[in-house]
């Protein structure tokens, strides 16, 4: 696990990398850590499912860290 991904699980970061996201992109650096810490984020992105991936990764990371459960509704394009 790389430090540049803020301690997010490798499975989550691997999915982001597979979709073409890198840790140095502004939206990833700003949204993923905030949401992973159970913070709130308002994400304005083009209407393409892949643009929501960093926010979704933050939600998944937060749930994994707390060993909790959640119902996540996402566009089919975001489900690997």
Q: How many angstroms separate the CA atoms of 38 and 50, rounded?
A: 21
Q: What is the pLDDT of residue 1?
A: 40
Going from N- to C-terminal start, the domains of the chain cover: 3-78
pLDDT tens digits along 23-73: 888 888 888 888 888 877 777 777 777 788 888 888 888 888 888 888 877
């Amino acid at each position: 696990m790389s430090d540049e991904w803020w301690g997010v699980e490798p499975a989550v970061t691997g999915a982001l990398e597979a979709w073409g996201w890198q840790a140095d992109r502004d939206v990833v650096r700003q949204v993923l850590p905030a949401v992973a810490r159970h913070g709130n984020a308002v994400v304005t992105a083009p209407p393409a499912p892949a643009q929501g991936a960093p926010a979704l990764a933050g939600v998944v990371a937060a749930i994994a860290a707390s060993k909790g459960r959640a119902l996540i509704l996402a566009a089919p394009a975001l489900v690997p």
